[in-house]
Amino acid sequence: MSNTEQTLSIIKPDAVERNLSEEIKEKIIENIFKIFKEKKIKIEKQEAEKFYQVHQSKPFYNDLCSYLSSGAIVVMILERENAILENRKLMGATDPSKAEDGTIRKKYGISIDKNSVHGSDSPENAKIEIDFFFKE
Ligand code: CMP
């Protein structure tokens, strides 16, 4: 049975700043995702705090929110079969030093903070995150 899904993907400031957006998008498209919508934006720290609300209690929350709001980002809705899981596979482990060969974070990530991309981790969060950036 087919399970076409949408997931939210973010190309983070470290990757946008190094002009890697096009290269990362090519890799996404190679992996048979359709980029359904995309926009390049810069967000305020307050918005980043709202976006990463689930991590509120973590020790890295403040730095994480400062970082996401520190420069331009590219937000995209990606669509394909099992998009959420497939995008997580394509991104690789959160910590680039632990990510597998061939993954985006292994190739482009600098550190656990500057790990180049974000992707939704569940259908519930995909919907929340897509609405966060794209709801009219
Ligand atoms: P992301 O997938 O965007 O979701 C939350 C982010 O927090 C994660 O990627 C990392 O960039 C960042 N982060 C920083 N420190 C940690 C940590 N110790 N564990 C998990 N995520 C972390």
17-72 tens-digit pLDDT: 999 999 999 999 999 999 999 999 999 999 999 999 999 999 999 999 999 999 99
Beta-carbon-side half-sphere exposure of residue 8 (alpha carbons within 13 Å):
24
Catalytic residue, from 12, 27, 88, 118: name it.
118
Task: Say yes or no: CB of residue 118 within 6 Å of ligand 1.
Answer: yes
Task: Measure 1 CA to ligand 1 centroid, in angstroms.
Answer: 33
- The per-residue pLDDT for 1 is 78
CA-nearest residue, atom 20 of ligand 1: 94
Task: Measure 31 CA to ligand 1 centroid, in angstroms.
Answer: 24
Strand partners, 11: 74, 117
CB-CB contact of 115 with 95 (8 Å)? yes
Give the three-state DSSP class for 85: helix
Cβ partners under 8 Å of residue 2, min gap 6: 81
